[in-house]
Amino acid sequence: MVGDPPPTLAVLLAHPAGHSLSPAMHGAAFAAAGIAGRYEAWDVAPEALPAALERLRQSPTLLGANVTVPHKETVLRLLDALTPEAERLGAVNTIVRRDDRLLGHNTDAIGLAAALAGLARPPGPGRAVVLGAGGAARAAVAVLLQAGCSVRVHNRTHPRAEALAAAMRHVGTVVAIGAEALREAIAEADWLVNTTSVGMHGGPPGSPVPEGVLPASGAVIDLVYRPRPTPLLAAAAAAGLETQDGVAMLVHQGAASFTAWTGREAPLAAMFGAVERALSAATA
């Protein structure tokens, strides 16, 4: 009927969800592509995830969902099938709904690889350090290994870093390191990638590395994009290092999600513009 609201075409499953820029980004993408629809952020506590997925499964107007903290790994067992990439990484950030079946994708690695390609010195043979051991860390380790890096993984909970390293050793050289080895590993790194929430607006404050600890040269990548710059990136820039925040990865992984849902090429310029406007509005 004329005047009815457009259908909800995609959603974000997160906890918390209020900080996300995905609604602005995907709303702009749908508009630029001429698709009538909207994107909603659903705040889904861990115990409510099965019910949210059932709602997604039973809603014919929904194309699918994005999945982020804390659900990227726990959602695996609740889906009908996984793409080879999602299975290999052991994490899902995109769900595509086909009829009443839910297929899990992972576009994080695609998004990060596209983002890192924009560095003055993209990853290649050399040394990298990844901070964190969640779904984004798995994607980061995979991308860096495939580029030819040797990778050291550090996480506050060391057994999780060990598990991540063990899962990725078939791809390349990756080891888990504890706090005692972190300073030296970072100083020697050509690429330092933070995938934790430390320094994020509303998250743990400060920097994820000890004060004064930075690579001697190279690039520092922080997948946090709010505030701009993060404490880590501010220190890296002051030290003369190349820096990159999480905006490029956010948009590129979102573009791959958009294509998986719609079968259409994503309007990257519209998506970048929406994210930059939302970030500017948040700091105005």
Which residues form the domain of 124? 110-245
In this structure, the answer to whether residues 223 and 121 fall within a common structural domain is yes
In this structure, the answer to whether residues 194 and 239 fall within a common structural domain is yes
For strand 94-98 and strand 64-67, is the pairing parallel, antiparallel, or unpaired? antiparallel
Q: Is the entire prediction scored with pTM above 0.95?
A: no
Pick the catalytic residue from 71, 72, 138, 154.
Answer: 72
Dihedral sign of CA atoms 247, 252, 253, 254 in order = positive
Pull the structure tokens for residue 201: 């607006």
Pull the structure tokens for residue 37: 């629809």
In this structure, the answer to whether residues 147 and 211 fall within a common structural domain is yes
In this structure, the answer to whether residues 125 and 230 fall within a common structural domain is yes
In this structure, the answer to whether residues 53 and 119 fall within a common structural domain is no
Runs of H (alpha helix) within 7-134:
22-32, 49-57, 84-89, 108-116
- Verify whether residue 283 is a known catalytic residue: no
In this structure, the answer to whether residues 101 and 136 fall within a common structural domain is no
In this structure, the answer to whether residues 90 and 129 fall within a common structural domain is no
Closest of 115, 131, 140 to residue 215, by C-alpha: 131
In this structure, the answer to whether residues 148 and 208 fall within a common structural domain is yes
Q: Does residue 143 sit within a domain?
A: yes
pLDDT digits (tens, 9 = 90+) for 66-102: 999 899 999 999 999 999 999 999 999 999 999 889 9
Cα separation, 97 vs 101, whole angstroms = 6
* Residue 160 burial (10 A CB sphere; 0-12, 13-18, 19+): middle
DSSP symbol at 4? P
- Statement: residue 4 has pLDDT above 80: no
Three-class secondary structure of residue 127 per DSSP: strand
Q: Does residue 169 sit within a domain?
A: yes
In this structure, the answer to whether residues 71 and 145 fall within a common structural domain is no
Contact 234, 212 (CB under 8 A): no
Give the pLDDT band (50/70/90) at residue 2.
very low
